[in-house]
Amino acid sequence: MLDYGHFIGGKRVAGTSGRTGDVFEPMTGDVRAKVALASRAEVRAAIENAKAAQPAWAATNPQRRARVLVRFVDLVNQHYDELADILAREHGKTVPDAKGDIQRGVEVAEFATGIPHLMKGEYTEGAGPGIDIYSMRQALGVVAGITPFNFPAMIPMWKFAPAIACGNAFILKPSERDPGVPMRLAELMMEAGLPAGILNVVNGDKEAVDAILDDADIKAVGFVGSSPIAQYIYERAARSNKRAQCFGGAKNHMIIMPDADMDQTVDALIGAGYGSAGERCMAISVAVPVGQATADKLLERLIPRVEALKVGPSTDPSADFGPVVTRAALDKIKGYVETGIQEGAKLVVDGRDFRMQGYENGFYMGGCLFDEVTSDMRIYKEEIFGPVLSVVRAKDYDEALRLPNEHEYGNGVAIFTRDGDAARDFAAKVQVGMVGINVPIPVPIAYYTFGGWKASGFGDLNQHGPDSVRFYTKTKTVTSRWPSGVKEGAEFTIPLMQ
């Protein structure tokens, strides 16, 4: 059995709190590892290491910082299979899906290699008589990221790659459910030439989170998880005078117009709704066909596809999706399905009784499909985070548009149509942060920004892209005048650039 401690000061260290948690292998249900749960003292030790190392790293020129990330990207590519295997075994997603998780994180690390350009300030010569003005971006110091179980490679890299490129030291608190990949990524960063103490991984639970939030030496914190916890972290970070970007839950709709290519639509729904067993914040969990005929056509094609979904162990490359992350998660998802039935929704495909031969103790569930779901039902209002798709029928386009606009969450949304005018109107009017037009999972590429609206996001700046550089740096503006341009006499009015 594996034993995960922490990664502090450039090396793995054993936990000292005496508290541990179980890391399961979802496809078998076995305990794969024990993970240390850090005390406040252990978190503080990581912060002290980071604080001591950060000034020299910030003083390192940005080209040299970028070269570390270039080598890191190369090392991740060399270790792709190893990382994907660890990820699949601890999370439950299939190996091909795990590789996608890694790839989307690597793309942000690649973006961060452009930090010499991204951190450039501005300059105005002759803003006034003999006066020049320029700005510079400087690192914040020690920053932190609290990341979720569902993307144990991607989201840590989204956080630490730009933060470190900007000259900060980073404290990563990954999910205690699947810490293996974050620990390995830290080792690869060291192998790439990162100085000890610049990236520390502290495993833990709420005690570690609160220690990060309350510590005055942490200047900014990023979080991805559920909305209640995102709001808690945002508010507590603000009380400690920290910057915070906190991303929460989602209920992503796909609007299906009568003119949509139905084969393309069904393919998109199957992948976006059931990929990774629905454990994605960008999963499509609500299908909204517009008009009765569209709904009937959709269900006619969708039902047999859901029934034919192949659920398998994470190591089966032919599986459509694998198990969910824990037994508790499985029980929660099944509870939502039962709630939907009680609320009056029509369960047209029921995957609750799925059993994987040879893996009877694994956390498996087949795909479930609800029809005739209404907006007052819990299965519509709340994020299920499992392989459950709800169909909400809309009589017309205006009703379909109101559904995502009036929902509590505003993470992602999609419309499938051949009508450019309808797509353009939808993109302009929908109150959601990320929009797909005939694209079911509209996760922006690394040099754009990722973030939801409403209860899906707390904070002014989003993840990756230019916002990440703004979040992890502070701007200093210098107004400069040299003696040859100084006129004699005191000035008692506000300086004017005349």
Question: Please, what sign has the CA dihedral across residues 444, 462, 245, 406?
Answer: negative
Q: Rounded to whole angstroms, how far apart are CA atoms 329 and 452?
A: 24
The label of the residue with tokens 């990236």 reads: 199
Largest CA distance in the chain: 90
Residue at 86: amino acid letter? I
Is residue 281 within 8 Å of 224, Cβ to Cβ?
yes
In terms of Cβ atoms closer than 10 Å to its own Cβ (0-12, 13-18, 19+), residue 58 is middle
Edge-to-edge order in the sheet of strand 30-36: 2-4, 30-36, 20-25
Residues 6+ apart with CB under 8 A from 320: 94, 270, 274, 275, 309, 310, 311, 312
DSSP 476: E
In terms of Cβ atoms closer than 10 Å to its own Cβ (0-12, 13-18, 19+), residue 483 is exposed
Phi, psi values for residue 488, rounded to 5°? -75, 155
Q: Rounded to whole angstroms, how far apart are CA atoms 261 and 407?
A: 26
- Can you tell me whether residue 32 is helix, strand or coil? strand
The per-residue pLDDT for range 370-423, each reduced to its tens digit, is 999 999 999 999 999 999 999 999 999 999 999 999 999 999 999 999 999 999
- Predicted TM-score of the model (pTM): 0.95
- CATH H superfamily, domain 2-248+456-478: Aldehyde Dehydrogenase; Chain A, domain 1 (3.40.605.10)
Which parts of 27-118 fold into alpha helices (H)? Answer: 40-59, 62-78, 80-91, 95-112, 115-118
Q: Rounded to whole angstroms, how far apart are CA atoms 442 and 415?
A: 11
Strands 434-437 and 169-173: unpaired
pLDDT at 498: 62
pLDDT at 70: 98
Other beta carbons within 10 Å of 300: 11
Phi, psi values for residue 219, rounded to 5°? -95, -20
Residue ranges for the chain with pLDDT beneath 70: 484-488, 497-498
The per-residue pLDDT for range 50-89, each reduced to its tens digit, is 999 999 999 999 999 999 999 999 999 999 999 999 999 9
In terms of Cβ atoms closer than 10 Å to its own Cβ (0-12, 13-18, 19+), residue 443 is middle
How far does Cα 139 stand from its chain's mean position? 22
Residue at 182: amino acid letter? P
> Domain 252-437, CATH 3.40.309.10 — does that match?
yes
Q: Rounded to whole angstroms, how far apart are CA atoms 382 and 338?
A: 14
pLDDT at 485: 56
Q: Which of 292, 277, 381, 377 is CA-nearest to residue 333?
A: 277
- Can you tell me whether residue 117 is helix, strand or coil? helix
Q: Rounded to whole angstroms, how far apart are CA atoms 319 and 58?
A: 45
Q: Which of 235, 240, 241 is CA-nearest to residue 223?
A: 235
- Residue ranges per structural domain of the chain: 2-248+456-478, 252-437
Phi, psi values for residue 483, rounded to 5°? -50, -35
- Catalytic site positions: 281
